[in-house]
Amino acid sequence: MIPYGRQHITQQDIDAVIQVLQSDFLTQGPAVPAFEQRFTELTTARYAVAVNSATSALHLACLALDVKPGSRVWTSPITFVASANCARYCGALVDFVDIEADTGNICISALRHKLEQARLTDTLPQVVIPVHLAGLSCDMQQLHYLAVEFGFRIIEDASHAVGATYHNQPVGSCQYSDITIFSFHPVKIITTAEGGMALTNSPQLADSMRLLRSHGITRDAEHMTEPSHGSWYYQQLQLGFNYRMTDLQAALGLSQSQRLPHIIAKRQQLAKNYQQLLHALPIQLPPAETERLSAFHLYIIRLNDSTRRKAVFDGLRQAEIGVNVHYIPVHTQPYYQQLGFDWGDYPQAEAFYDSIISLPLYPELTSEQQHYIADTLRTLLA
């Protein structure tokens, strides 16, 4: 089976992890700050906080922005469930904004409309979480204008978009947001096995996320409520978590990040190949954008005739092509249905879901495999 995504591990990656295994620190050592430093350089953000998953990063980001019971958090229905669950961990009310049909990203005009309605009923969101689907950034400048006008904060869920750019700035620069989060799960752009990161330009938000990442405990006398008892002393200031990344993971991520430009170039080349192989088929291909360079975490096609999606999907799987669907709209999950959402709530998202297939895309996918995938798809659509 050709998988839809797959990690790429080199001997250099393996050596980097072994070096940590032979060192003094498996966790809480020097590799984590080195990995964080690397990401401040890659993104130009001032602070980076590495954690054990993007889900943890989303949770910490919500907490740092004071999301709590009664807060309102809005996101896109076309995402992984973690983009919405993070707000639920804080007891917040989650709501969704429908998507734009071509990119699958949150629709700016639908958002404006919903914000105007919410202003009338005094139910404006405290935080909006745009998701850069497949690695293509949302229109962050427009989102920023709305954030200023309607007074909400922004967490970018850039799980798919490590290495992408927006208006020639790296995604993660946080130029138009408060916090950006990345995922380093094996199917994503670079991996630490499990892992994630939060980027921000705010020292307060960075401090808050660092504190909460490790039990809410500080060893910094400046933050203590009474004079330190001695060099062993620490204080727990808040109810935090153990969301720490290990040094093994950070060393793997650091090693992988050296190849990031190469990985992005490769993914874009593979996307270009698909574009040439598939453009004549009765499907819509990912939009070609010049202002926004996609990281191409996913290659999502939309069938013009969605009634044929299941048969085409099954045919591809039977041909040993590991296609997938990204995503089942979050509001239709039973957990969210229990909260009052239902089919029909977000028509664009549901129409998108009905018509999509994610084709395999990862650095080691070969040209022969791409031809095989294209030929199989052409036959199934004929």
Ligand X SMILES: *Cc1c(COP(=O)(O)O)cnc(C)c1O
Q: Closest approach of Cβ 58 to ligand X, in Å? A: 7
Task: Kindly tell me which of 360 and 377 has the beta carbon lying closer to ligand X.
Answer: 360
Residues that bind ligand X (CB under 6 A): 53-55, 79-80, 82-83, 131, 157, 159-160, 183, 185, 196
Element (H, E) at 146: helix 140-150
Task: Kindly tell me which of 30 and 186 has the beta carbon lying closer to ligand X.
Answer: 186
The rounded distance, in Å, linking the Cα atoms of 276 and 284 is 13
Task: Kindly tell me which of 80 and 152 has the beta carbon lying closer to ligand X.
Answer: 80
The rounded distance, in Å, linking the Cα atoms of 264 and 277 is 20
Q: Closest approach of Cβ 277 to ligand X, in Å? A: 26
Q: Closest approach of Cβ 158 to ligand X, in Å? A: 8
Q: What is the DSSP string of 104-128?
A: -SBPHHHHHHHHHHHHHTT---SEE
- What's the DSSP call for residue 244? P
3 state DSSP class of 312? helix
3 state DSSP class of 324? strand
Task: Kindly tell me which of 80 and 352 has the beta carbon lying closer to ligand X.
Answer: 80
Q: Which amino acid is present at 318?
A: Q
Task: Kindly tell me which of 189 and 206 has the beta carbon lying closer to ligand X.
Answer: 189
Q: Closest approach of Cβ 256 to ligand X, in Å? A: 14
Task: Kindly tell me which of 72 and 185 has the beta carbon lying closer to ligand X.
Answer: 185
Q: Closest approach of Cβ 87 to ligand X, in Å? A: 13
CB of 159 closer than 8 Å to CB of 181: yes
* Token pair in block for residue 133: 């689907």
Q: Closest approach of Cβ 171 to ligand X, in Å? A: 13
Please, which residues have CB within 8 angstroms of residue 57's CB and are 6 or more apart in sequence? 49, 51, 181, 182, 183, 196, 197, 198, 209
